[in-house]
Structure formats: structure tokens, C-alpha cells
A and B are shown apart, each in its own frame.
Chain A
Amino acid sequence: MSSLNGQLTPPDPGPGASAFPNLTMVADHAAKHTAEHAAGHTAEHAAAAVRLTDVSKVYGQGRRALLALDRVSLSVAPGEFVCLIGASGCGKSTLLSLVAGLDSPTSGQIDTSGLKVTLMFQEPALFPWLTAARNVELALRGPGISKAERRARALDLLETVHLGGFGGKRPHELSGGMRQRVAMARSLAQDADVLLMDEPFGALDAMTRDLLHDELERICAERTLSVLFVTHNVREAARLGDRVIVLSSRPGRVIEEYDVPRNEPRRIDSFDVAELASTITDRLREEMSRHGN
């Protein structure tokens, strides 16, 4: 299995790797690998939409200080879909908050190349006093856009997520999946280049989630969005990601990256997805067992 002890050793493909010809393990990350990894991806970093360099985040002070993220370095290329996965306490959500600018890192650098970044949450976080259309319109608020234009663009965006006839409905009148699509339309309204998604489909049933995966894939392809997608669901990560990054827990460190070849059409129950999910699950179990000893 891959090294976890921070030694600068080439990654061991592991016993399972030969069985998965479509899976390419890119690098084995421990904290000390950061510099080497960064150097090895210079070209990718040069064009990165999001780049984190040695980012650490500490909550609290003194003896009560908690290291949530430890020298995390990663990048997302323009148009790339990167999934972040890890067990509880790996700091996935913290990492997204830092990239979204809602919080500041204790050390390290976050560069979004001046691109517009938006964040979607596990809950739709729609404003319950506004209709679906008004929720989207609020994100379009700004100088130079007339009210009529805002309304038209909001309805267009709702149409994009197949909610054309539901603009007048309030959030509580919609299903969970519909609310999350309104939230997606609201994110798209911000005309962002980078979409950060914090377990956006975590609260949905499997059927709805499956359909929304297709929807998200279509929308990202249409708009060339760079996506950093956090999930607990290994299959979801394998289904959606161009790359899957595995984080360790307490503190969060990048311990593994998997390049996922684009074999279209990819489905949640396809063989390739299942194989990759199995590999990632093994890696996560290994990481979790480290905390049990």
C-alpha cells in the first residue's frame, strides 16, 4: 500500500492497482511531499483555477489549539472536476470555507487567480421568504442589471436546472432535490468560474442524487466550470471526479490522489466507478484504522 509515513518514496501501486487498468494513481501525499508534488505539477499549477500551497488551519490557541488542516497543497485546473474525500474530521468543509474566502488560513497561500468563486452547501440555504425565482435574482443583484433583466435571467437559469415552471414557488413548496437545483441555479447566477460544493447531494435519496449527478455533469460541461466537490460518498467521488483527492483525518492532509479517465458515459453503477470506489474505500479504511490503534 501507499506510504503514509511521509518518506519521499515513489508511490506503491498496491495489490489492487493492477486489477484497475483505468485507474491511475498520481501521487502519494504525506505532508512532507508537498514541495515535491508541487514541483512535479508545475505546468498544471501554472494554469490552475484554484491553487492551495501549504495551507494550514488551526482553531483555538495554546493547549486547546486544534490543527484542522496541515500543509495542504492541491490545485484545480480550469474546467477540472476535483473531488475531495475523507473520513470525519479531515477538514474538507474547512478547506472549502478557506477557498471561498469565508475564513482565513493560519498559514499558507490560496490563489484563485482572480476568478469568481461560489460555494454550494449540503443544505440548499435558500431564503425561505423569497420565491425560487427571487432567490436566484438576489444573486444577480448588482449595478447595471435592470429588474426585468434580472427576472429574465433568473427564469433562464431555473430553466437550465429544469425548474422553469417553479419560479413562483417558495422553498418549502419544493422537494429536496428541487431546492438543491434552485441553489445550483443561484450559484450559476453568480457567474462564477469556480464552483465549490460541500456535500451538495448528501441529504438526497439515491435516485435523486443519481439524476443530479447527470445534471451537474451537463451544466459543468456547458459552462466550463472548475469544481472542487467535497463528499463523504466514495462512489459519488468516483462517478463525478476527473481527479479524486483523499484527505487524512485530524489533521487533514492530502494522502492520495487518483486520476480518473473520462470513459463516457460514466454512471454510479458502472464497473470502472465501482472499482475506483473500492480502491478509495480501502485507502480510507486504512486511514481510519490508523486512528483506532
Chain B
Amino acid sequence: MATDLQSAAITGLDKLELGPPPPAAEPGRLARRAWASLWPKLLAIALVLAIWQLVILTGWKHYVIKGPGPVFADLWGQMQHLQLWQIIEVTMRTAAVGYLLALVIGSVAGVLVARIPPLRAAVGSIITGLQTMPSIAWVPFAIIIFGENESAILFVVILGAAPSIANGLITGVDYTPPLLLRAGKTMGLHGFALYRYLILPASLPAYVAGMKQGWAFAWRSLMAGELVVQIIGQFSIGQQLSVDQQNLDFAGASSIIIVILVIGIVVDGLFTKADLTIRRRRGLLDNAF
């Protein structure tokens, strides 16, 4: 009897502490949230276009600079042709291969540096230093080693992205809460199991932040590499931009800049989405957010 009462009291307290279940989603809530997230971006685009148009109206360098109208007409025209999609494919393939290699190298380096103190003392600051290197500085170095080919570009992409990925992982490992480590050890987690079940999952938010930053560096490095390294028979976004520059084609160059910007923003958005999902699952986000 007492146990039944105790059980009922605990169940009752749980219900009281958790509060009522969240109300069912009201119709249109999703659309309102989407609009709330979209309108600031649209406003930013409108502001950029307005400033751009104002510059055109002043007549500054009117013989070169074109307004938003001609540029978007050029972009629309390029989108009707296969060539734009082909150069995007070439660049994205290089980006994917380079980023994946950077992910593997950065992750292995991150785990080793985080786990082996002498290695951290030896190369920890070098990894941070590599992050500050402008990627364009690696291009001549890469051409000397590999010649003007895809390997040179991949080299630059990997050197651009891997340090951020490694640093993200090292930070995640360093910030694993000591209490969780103690709890893991009392459960018998040691060695590889400690990493597999505790340290790596605990590091995931910082690791994803490092991956996101790594992508930004990889994309920049790739563009720098493609602008300088001319590969015969392989036309890429960077090379197209280089050609537009040589032809003083403002509209064409602006179209490619817009393509670079959109791809960069879309991929960055995917990382942001992954980051928010992880934080939401771990209760690190306010529900109202």
C-alpha cells in the first residue's frame, strides 16, 4: 500500500515537473518560422542590390561596371548552358575530394595530438599557426612540388582545411567535462572504449564547428588554387573567373562570383543545420530559438 502510494507520488511529481505536453503545432507555424528566418536574408540582399544600383547611378567607372540587371541577365543566360554546370561539377568534385582528405587527415592528427602529450607539445602550436597561413601562399609551393595539376589544388585545399578540423577535434577533446570522464571510468570505459563511447561523442559539437570552419577555408583555398593553377583540358569555376578577368567581362565575372557565394553559403548552411541539430538534441539550445 505504502509502496503503491510512493510509486504514485513519484509518477505524479514527474508529471508536475515536466509540465503539460507541448501544444500541437498550430497551422501556419512552420511558414511563420520560415518567414522569420528568411526576411532578414532577403533584406540583406535587397540592401546590397540597392547600394550596387546607387553606384551605377553615380556613373562611377560606368565603362566597366554593370548594374544588377545586366549581371543577373548574364547569370540566367549562363545557367541555360551546359558549360556553367560542367565547371561547377569540376570544382565541386575537387572540393569534395579535397575536403574528405582534409577531414581524414585533420581527424587523425586531432586525435593523435589530443591523446599524446609530447606530440601536442611538438606540433600543437604548428597546427594553430597553419590556420593563420593565407592559402594563396601555398599555391606556388604546391606548383613547385606537384606541377600545374589537380594534385597541387588538392594540396592547397587540404592545408587550408585540415588544421581547422584538427583544432576543432582537439578543442572538443579538451573540453570533455571531467565529471563525464569520471562517470565513464566508473563504468569501466578505458582506452579505445573511452574514446569511442565518451570522448569523441562529447567532442562532436566542437568537431562540427571545426569542420564548418574547415569547409570555409577549403572553399577559399580551392578558389585561390583554381585561379592560379591552370589545368589544361579541365575548366573550373576559378579558371572561368580568370578568363572573365582577362576579357574584362564584368557581368561574367560577377555571375561567377555569385555562383561561388551561393555554393559557399549553401554548404555552410548544411553545417549550420548539423550544428543546430546536435545542440538541440543535447539540450544546448533554448526551445524558443
Contact = CB atoms under 8 A, between A and B. Distances in A.
| A and B physically associate | yes
Contact of B6 (A170, A175, A177, A211): A211
| Category for how many chain A residues contact B | 35 or more
Given A162-B10, A162-B11, A127 B283 contact: no
A172 interface: yes
Contacts of A208: 13, 17
B13 A177 contact: yes
A139 to B, nearest CB: 5
Contact of A178 (B9, B17, B193, B197): B17
Contacts of B186: 100, 102, 118-119, 190
A121 B179 contact: yes
A186 B186 CA distance: 11
B6 A139 contact: no
Given A123-B179, A190-B187, A218-B3, A175 B18 contact: yes
A128 B283 contact: yes
A148 interface: no
A155 to B, nearest CB: 17
Contacts of B198: 127
Interface string B192-216: 0100011001101000000000000
Nearest to A192: B186
A133 B2 CA distance: 28
B182 A211 contact: no
Contact of B201 (A129, A173, A176): A129
A15 interface: no
Given A125-B182, A129-B201, A211-B9, A172 B17 contact: no
A138 interface: yes
B282 interface: yes
B13 A211 contact: yes
Contacts of A177: 13-14, 17
Contacts of A121: 179, 182-183
Contacts of B10: 162, 211, 215
B83 interface: no
Nearest to A173: B283
Contact of B282 (A128, A163, A166, A207): A128
Interface string B1-38: 01100110111011001100000000000000000000
Nearest to A198: B182
Nearest to A181: B10
B41 interface: no
Nearest to B18: A175
Interface string A167-193: 000111111111000000010001000
B282 A125 contact: no
Interface in B156-183: 179-180, 182-183
Contacts of A170: 281-283
Contact of A102 (B18, B182, B202, B283): B182
Interface in A88-145: 97, 100, 102, 118-119, 121, 123, 125, 127-130, 138-139, 141-142
B185 interface: yes
A239 B13 CA distance: 21
Nearest to A210: B9
A121 B2 CA distance: 28
Contacts of B282: 128-129, 170, 172
Contacts of A175: 14, 17-18
Nearest to B14: A178
A259 interface: no
A178 B19 CA distance: 13
B180 A127 contact: yes
Nearest to B2: A265
A242 interface: no
A162 to B, nearest CB: 5
A125 B185 CA distance: 12
Contact of B183 (A125, A178, A218): A125
A287 interface: no
Nearest to A172: B283
Between B7, B9, B14, B180, the greatest number of chain A beta carbons within 10 A of the residue's beta carbon is seen for B14
B13 A207 contact: yes
Contact of B180 (A97, A125, A174): A125
Contacts of A141: 187, 193, 197
Contacts of B7: 162
7 contacts: A102-B185, A102-B186, A142-B188, A162-B14, A170-B281, A218-B3, A265-B2
Q: Which 4 A-B pairs have the closest CB atoms?
A: A172-B283, A175-B17, A125-B183, A128-B282
Given A119-B186, A128-B281, 7 more contacts: A125-B183, A127-B180, A141-B193, A190-B188, A211-B13, A214-B6, A218-B6
Interface of B: 2-3, 6-7, 9-11, 13-14, 17-18, 179-180, 182-183, 185-188, 193, 197-198, 201-202, 204, 278, 281-284
